[in-house]
Structure 1
Amino acid sequence: MTKRHVSLPPGGEEGIHAFIEEVDRRLSGEEDTCDVVEDVLVDLFGDREAYERWQSGGEVTPAERVRLQGYDPCNVTLESEYYAEVETMDDGEFERTKYLQWLWRQFDATPMADNVEFALRFRRMLADHLFAEVGDNCRFFKGITVTYGHNIAVGDNVVVHDDVHLDDRGMLTIGDRVSISDDAHVYSHDHDSNDQTAVDNYHTIIEDDVRITYDSMVRAGVRMGENSVLAAKSIAGKDVPAHHIAAGTPAKSIAVKDGWEPVAEDLADANVDRRAERRIDYELPENLDVFDEFQRERRPPGDS
């Protein structure tokens, strides 16, 4: 069953169009992104009066001050900010995408995020500024999180549903007409099984017309071949060939989609791990100030 078109009343449409156009114009202009994000969030949360009182030296409670300061993305930290490779990013790339991430996440915490027609268009506009590439007619639903944002390329007519995590610590390429269902996770980095602090980054590829279904996971470096399906609650740790259906934990190709047998790889040749081909090497500065959050010294027997 296909979906139907839904439209807003003229008054609602006019207000939404004006707001999105204004934010887009400001993000595209010469203004500091941090300042734009702060200004937009103050108004979205209806806190202009308290904010102006605080800015003019008026009295605010400690809780109010924390809230008002939190609209400024320069006053917040994200988990990805702790990743060591952030030190190697040039031209303030992380700072810019961090600010845009904060706007995306905080917008999703407002009541307006449940106004689907408005929210889809607002997130699509933000994606133009946040992602490396984003195609036409994409739909991004509520609760989507990314690692950085600037290592994600998205094709046309892509749908990403609620509470999906798109990890671009490495690189993530999503083709045209891809559907990613609620609670799915797509990764581009992995941890060593012995040394949890050792991280490998990969290029994860989701080709055209792929369906990643409910609560499933694509591991770093996996290629989901065109027109393939990852079944609900499955974990793809190896490439899924074009037109195949993969299921299970770990996922294996269990069938070829009906009618696609003449052009699909044989099931006997599937389930091959080719992730090493997509590993992304990186170097860290020698003077990097690091910390080990685990403080572990466990080593295999005989490992000096």
Structure 2
Amino acid sequence: MTKRHVSLPAEAEEGVTAFIEQVDERLSGAEDTCEVVRDTLVDLFGDRDAYERWRAGGDVTPAERVRLQGYDPCNATLESEYYAEKDEETFTRSKHLQWLWRQFDATPMADNIAFALRFRQMLANHLFAEAGDGLRLFKGITFTYGHNIEMGDNVVVHDDVHLDDRGKLTVGDRVSISDAAHVFSHDHDVVDQTAVENYHTVIDDDARVTYDTMVRAGMRVGKNSVVGAKSVVQGDVPDHHIAVGSPAKSVKVKPGWEDVADPVEDRLTNRAAERKLERSVPDDVDVFDEFQRDVAPPGAREADD
């Protein structure tokens, strides 16, 4: 599909460029990341006067105080903060950048595409393990950590996509991930859901993962392949294949690629075990089971008695 180049008016472009360069420079320097994120959000939300009044000891309501404190990521928690095996030092900075990413998406500016895509590209350069050039990262994308994501050049990720990198996620060049897709890199035991395994999930060059698709942990979506809408990928999608359904199956090879593609098979091969990552919890972590369930099957209980 042919697209048009879109640009902002010169005055708006000047302001956008100056703002993004300023935040990028501060994030690249020695400043505390919490302070950079806090200042950026205070100004983006137009709350500078109220923030300065509060910091000077002025009266604020409890709701105002919570709002003003909330611009600082050090005063916030994310779900992934509870994961026992995470690298604490790496996560701390990633959390701050994630907070900036998520709160930016709650501002009206997140809908200004010419501005927002460039701002998220800049944040990805700081947050991801690898961030290629020409990324088009749209609104509502969420991550587990962010720092376990490797993303190639000219990738497009559309609205409301979840990229789970509790394990590791590699996205190749020119990949397209459509709205509401979920790509996972960790899984839970079917009996004891507190038992988690992490995997390396791969979406290879030129692949398309279309609307509302789920890619399970440890899968590989092959080069130049397509996963149809609302599919559940529970095995590797071969290069150049089109896979659809729940569970997804290869239904055909992309026209023109028959000579270089593997034959179509009835079901996809699950190779997650080959991409399983070592997962360990530090000895000094105070772990807890939030469910407190008895996961022993009835026969095991009777044997214990």
Query: Residue 265 of structure 1 corresponds to which residue in structure 2?
Result: 262
Does the 8 Å CA contact 1:240/1:270 hold for their aligned counterparts? no
AA aligned to 2:76 is V
AA aligned to 1:29 is G
| Runs of 5+ unmatched residues, structure 1 | none
**Quick one: distance in 2 between partners of 1:268 and 1:44?**
52
Query: Residue 99 of structure 1 corresponds to which residue in structure 2?
Result: 96
CA positional deviation for 1:151? 0.3
Query: Residue 110 of structure 2 corresponds to which residue in structure 1?
Result: 113
Instruction: Point out the more displaced range, 16-25 or 289-298.
Output: 289-298
Runs of 4+ in 1 over 4 A off after TM superposition: none
| Runs of 5+ unmatched residues, structure 2 | none
Query: Residue 59 of structure 1 corresponds to which residue in structure 2?
Result: 59
CA positional deviation for 1:140? 0.2
Q: Which residues of 2 match residues 189-204 of structure 1 at below 5 A? A: 189-204=186-201
AA aligned to 1:186 is V
Report the TM-score when normalising by structure 1: 0.97
Report the TM-score when normalising by structure 2: 0.97
1:223 and 2:220 matched: yes
CA positional deviation for 1:281? 1.2
Q: Which deviations, in whole Å up to 9, do the C-alpha atoms of 1:201-232 show, x marking residues without a partner?
A: 00000100000000001000001110011100
CA positional deviation for 1:269? 7.7
**Quick one: distance in 2 between partners of 1:295 and 1:255?**
46
Task: Give secondary structure in 2 for the equivalent of 1:203.
Answer: strand
Q: Which deviations, in whole Å up to 9, do the C-alpha atoms of 1:47-72 show, x marking residues without a partner?
A: 00110011011111000000000000
**Quick one: distance in 1 between partners of 2:3 and 2:190?**
44
**Quick one: distance in 1 between partners of 2:167 and 2:98?**
17
CA positional deviation for 1:298? 3.2
Query: Residue 49 of structure 2 corresponds to which residue in structure 1?
Result: 49
AA aligned to 1:180 is I
CA positional deviation for 1:165? 0.3
1:183 and 2:180 matched: yes
Task: Give secondary structure in 1 for the equivalent of 2:101.
Answer: helix
Q: How many residues align?
A: 301
Task: Give secondary structure in 2 for the equivalent of 1:196.
Answer: coil
**Quick one: distance in 2 between partners of 1:246 and 1:33?**
43
Q: Which deviations, in whole Å up to 9, do the C-alpha atoms of 1:47-106 show, x marking residues without a partner?
A: 0011001101111100000000000000000000011112xx15x210100000000000
AA aligned to 2:49 is E
CA positional deviation for 1:265? 0.7
Task: Give secondary structure in 1 for the equivalent of 2:250.
Answer: strand
Does the 8 Å CA contact 1:185/1:216 hold for their aligned counterparts? yes
1:130 and 2:127 matched: yes
**Quick one: distance in 1 between partners of 2:279 and 2:78?**
21
Q: Which deviations, in whole Å up to 9, do the C-alpha atoms of 1:122-181 show, x marking residues without a partner?
A: 000000000000111110000000000000000000000000000000000000000000
**Quick one: distance in 2 between partners of 1:111 and 1:268?**
47
**Quick one: distance in 2 between partners of 1:216 and 1:2?**
25
1:170 and 2:142 matched: no
Query: Residue 158 of structure 1 corresponds to which residue in structure 2?
Result: 155
**Quick one: distance in 2 between partners of 1:260 and 1:36?**
49
Instruction: Point out the more displaced range, 261-270 or 181-190.
Output: 261-270
Query: Residue 72 of structure 1 corresponds to which residue in structure 2?
Result: 72
Identity %: 71
Query: Residue 300 of structure 1 corresponds to which residue in structure 2?
Result: 297
Query: Residue 31 of structure 1 corresponds to which residue in structure 2?
Result: 31
Query: Residue 281 of structure 1 corresponds to which residue in structure 2?
Result: 278
Does the 8 Å CA contact 1:241/1:270 hold for their aligned counterparts? no
**Quick one: distance in 2 between partners of 1:64 and 1:163?**
29
AA aligned to 1:204 is T
**Quick one: distance in 2 between partners of 1:3 and 1:85?**
44
Q: Which of 122, 129, 143 in structure 1 is aligned with 2:140?
A: 143
Does the 8 Å CA contact 2:249/2:266 hold for their aligned counterparts? no
Does the 8 Å CA contact 2:250/2:265 hold for their aligned counterparts? no
1:246 and 2:243 matched: yes
**Quick one: distance in 1 between partners of 2:196 and 2:295?**
17
Query: Residue 4 of structure 1 corresponds to which residue in structure 2?
Result: 4
AA aligned to 2:23 is V
CA positional deviation for 1:270? 5.7
AA aligned to 2:65 is R
Task: Give secondary structure in 2 for the equivalent of 1:153.
Answer: strand
CA RMSD of aligned residues (A): 1.0
